[in-house]
Structure 1
């Protein structure tokens, strides 16, 4: 009785005699080795086990097909498959792993790395080369070979030179970014309820060819005497620390609006190396990394913003601080080591150990070829490589059990900074949240710290007790937050307790939700309706709500008086829950009410069956898809036998471009659909 097996490389289904059960065959389509399931062993079980091919096992002749191939076809050698951007599937897997792991943190990294390594081992023992870029190792490649994975704009400046000394500072005078002059001709005024807000309409050339840097200026209402305002430099957060970010253009951003209300000027700046996650590709990923590293991990962007802020008439040039949250907090600490003229640095929940954060993602030996100089770059761009070089006062803030970045590492970093003679204040609050604790009480504590250092700021409403001082007095660890959402499981992460020798004392404070309502995106999501009656907003209903400049899937948590509703964003922690007016909420139409011409079926190849089988990932993947604007619920179909995945989305919606990343989040490793070749 013949046994069927599927090639992991080209998805061709092979058929061999039962006498070859448990052995290895060679695919006639692409030449890869294929393990034949043993007698009674299901192919799904073989794949889900992650069992690697062993080189010392018996190899059987390639199976014969019922229809003989033409002579010309038999003589052809297998052609290495490449994607549309000119890179091999193996290289793409490296870049996807690095970017996705870096973005979603160590929790996701651990899971992603486990599956990625198992896949690599199977690929290696299949005879796959352990380097990228073609058929020759990196040291033998010509410059054009190595550059072929990038587009023309990337090859004009190449990989940045990285010194072996991780503690070496970047140069602030080597090809600096030239900031613009503030004037109505280059900055457009935008409406806001709390500030005189201006965004740059003529972008400034960045640190490398083809890059652009934009700036935003936010001033408190009223007239200001020359040099009367302290200033905050602010960069957008949310990167894996190997590419940059554009500005979101939101003047009501809750991460910096409190500074403006407290009487600060705020200069918001973008980071070179923008990466469009909605349209991912290897070329874009590599280019974003090269541009970000050419800007010295954003240090050049921060310095351009610093020099720009000093030219603003109302800003006190001796009262300029840099502040940031998460990845932007990492940059704040890094720039503080480079710029002794800063008045201070404020870092909320920073990643102080960039190398450790990306260790799992960079464990693949091919990463250095895909992202030239990446290992030296992450070491040199990590704040913990420059502790002794930070000469400006530092305020650091972290929740004890932050589920994205490590409070323990920030606590240790601050202790080492203090021991090296630095001026540092570390505030630690109970909680397992990465974002909302920064909004409250973090920002208030940061503003009060600036005021204590002589910054002239307005009083801030008391929403948390004053920061205690003195010896260490650890507070009890808070209980885990119970997640009652049907879309999300409960979290159970723990953080090491503060050591008794710590000079810092946690703050006992209860975070309060942000009350700022973000503006709705300017574009309407397709195939949705507006809320017209309270009856359409029952608790648990899936809706679309604005987050930044895009619509995201959310669920109704509570219907509030005054035509308002509390929503929970399905892909985000509970700290991001928001209270919104009905006008900011959209109701997705049911599939039956949408015309067939407005529905798109997306298809993918399934690379491998997850450990534990499809049943273990079906619901998490469905949940990840529900967070996308335009996904049609319950349309996900996983065909294990044919190694296919399909789902339905609304044409023109964000789900068209974001679905593949959502599948990866759900642990379904897929590639764009390519039909199996029939002969």
Structure 2
């Protein structure tokens, strides 16, 4: 039985850019947390949420880091910047807020939710649209946005940076060309004919049967001279996503005339396994310095 227009309007999900924001918490001195703000409400799936970390006493519209978690597009949580940073106190997000950034850490649809590319890119793009719509309310300078992600999140951060205007991108050990990933992996470790690899689940087909889908889901496909600056960190001993992925991506950016700072991390496996705590801190600090340099406002004219 069809609904009346009045009932249909009443039952329709409210527009996320008009929903009240959750109350801010103060989990650590110097930082506020708006936890679980709904940024998208699609029919038939869970609402998508983000956490927004803010300095406790901002003095101007804030530069923004959009953070995208890893987990092979199948697992992961927006509260996590990777296993080696999971137990930091204060958390890496709180540290970024204390450094003067707003940090939006996002949910997105996972492949176990019958979501194939470009669903994940659509989600993170919707989050950026939501942040733009509420920038004045939240005190954000969205003109100074940096995308940052690790592993699968780095893949999405790179896609976001190459398809949406942002200042730059920080990519930690992410896949960037699904068409070359099998051949670059260690011999005998990757089955391109399988429909159950992380990448196959992302595109909805085995990589060797759907090269067009694999190309469409690869950040390297979208590299142009207009790409924003990239900082790419990748372990030299990565056994999950080969270092060659970042080497190839960095070369493509340079060839196009874009700016890229590619830093292989000696001795590091995926997710910074094998690194000392001090070296993990160094990766984080290098990334923060890159974001800070990009997002610093230009000097006032004299």
Is TM > 0.5 for Structure 1 vs Structure 2? yes
- Return the alpha-carbon distance in structure 2 between the equivalents of residues 188 and 236 of structure 1: 23
Q: Deviation at 1:246?
A: 4.7
Q: Deviation at 1:261?
A: 2.5
- Residue 178 of structure 2, aligned match among 354, 361, 384: 354
- Residue 78 of structure 2, aligned match among 231, 247, 253: 247
- Return the alpha-carbon distance in structure 1 between the equivalents of residues 79 and 262 of structure 2: 29
- Return the alpha-carbon distance in structure 2 between the equivalents of residues 189 and 348 of structure 1: 29
Matched residue, 2:64: 231
- Residue 216 of structure 1, aligned match among 37, 41, 51: 51
Counterpart contact for 1:400–1:408, Cα < 8 Å: no
- Return the alpha-carbon distance in structure 2 between the equivalents of residues 182 and 414 of structure 1: 40
SS of the aligned residue for 2:175 comes to: coil
What are the ranges of 5 or more consecutive residues in structure 2 without an aligned counterpart? 1-13, 81-85, 184-189, 298-302
Counterpart contact for 2:53–2:103, Cα < 8 Å: yes
- Return the alpha-carbon distance in structure 2 between the equivalents of residues 426 and 366 of structure 1: 31
Counterpart contact for 2:154–2:173, Cα < 8 Å: yes
What are the ranges of 5 or more consecutive residues in structure 1 without an aligned counterpart? 1-177, 276-287, 457-679
Confirm or deny that 1:332 pairs with 2:157.
Answer: yes
SS of the aligned residue for 1:363 comes to: coil
SS of the aligned residue for 2:51 comes to: strand
Greater relative contact order structure (CA < 8 Å, 6+ sep): 2
User: Structure 1 residues 320 and 213 mapped into 2: Cα distance closer, same or farther (>3 Å)?
Assistant: same
- Residue 322 of structure 1, aligned match among 147, 160, 168: 147
- Return the alpha-carbon distance in structure 2 between the equivalents of residues 248 and 422 of structure 1: 31
SS of the aligned residue for 1:379 comes to: helix
- Return the alpha-carbon distance in structure 2 between the equivalents of residues 413 and 379 of structure 1: 13
TM-score normalised by the chain length of structure 1 = 0.34
Matched residue, 2:32: 196
Counterpart contact for 1:330–1:347, Cα < 8 Å: yes
Matched residue, 1:263: 100
User: Structure 1 residues 246 and 212 mapped into 2: Cα distance closer, same or farther (>3 Å)?
Assistant: farther
Point out the structure with the larger helix share.
Answer: 2
User: Structure 1 residues 253 and 347 mapped into 2: Cα distance closer, same or farther (>3 Å)?
Assistant: farther
SS of the aligned residue for 1:449 comes to: helix
SS of the aligned residue for 1:198 comes to: strand
How big is the alpha-carbon RMSD for the aligned residues of Structure 1 and Structure 2?
3.3
Counterpart contact for 1:179–1:304, Cα < 8 Å: no
- Residue 447 of structure 1, aligned match among 268, 274, 288: 288
- Return the alpha-carbon distance in structure 1 between the equivalents of residues 253 and 228 of structure 2: 11
Q: Deviation at 1:362?
A: 4.2
Q: Deviation at 1:439?
A: 3.7
Counterpart contact for 2:230–2:261, Cα < 8 Å: yes
Matched residue, 1:187: 22
User: If you compute each CA radius of gyration, which structure gives the higher value, 1 or 2?
Assistant: 1
- Return the alpha-carbon distance in structure 2 between the equivalents of residues 366 and 312 of structure 1: 40
Q: How many residues align?
A: 256
Q: Deviation at 1:195?
A: 1.6
- Return the alpha-carbon distance in structure 1 between the equivalents of residues 16 and 291 of structure 2: 27
Counterpart contact for 1:244–1:292, Cα < 8 Å: no
- Residue 298 of structure 1, aligned match among 106, 116, 120: 120
Counterpart contact for 1:244–1:270, Cα < 8 Å: no
Q: Deviation at 1:420?
A: 0.9
- After superposition, give the CA deviation of every residue in 1:144-165 in whole Å (9 maximum; x if it has no partner): xxxxxxxxxxxxxxxxxxxxxx
- Residue 399 of structure 1, aligned match among 203, 226, 235: 235
Q: Deviation at 1:254?
A: 4.3
Matched residue, 1:345: 169
Counterpart contact for 1:326–1:350, Cα < 8 Å: yes
- After superposition, give the CA deviation of every residue in 1:639-665 in whole Å (9 maximum; x if it has no partner): xxxxxxxxxxxxxxxxxxxxxxxxxxx
Matched residue, 1:431: 267
- Return the alpha-carbon distance in structure 1 between the equivalents of residues 15 and 250 of structure 2: 32
- Return the alpha-carbon distance in structure 2 between the equivalents of residues 255 and 355 of structure 1: 33
Q: Deviation at 1:450?
A: 2.4
Counterpart contact for 1:399–1:433, Cα < 8 Å: yes
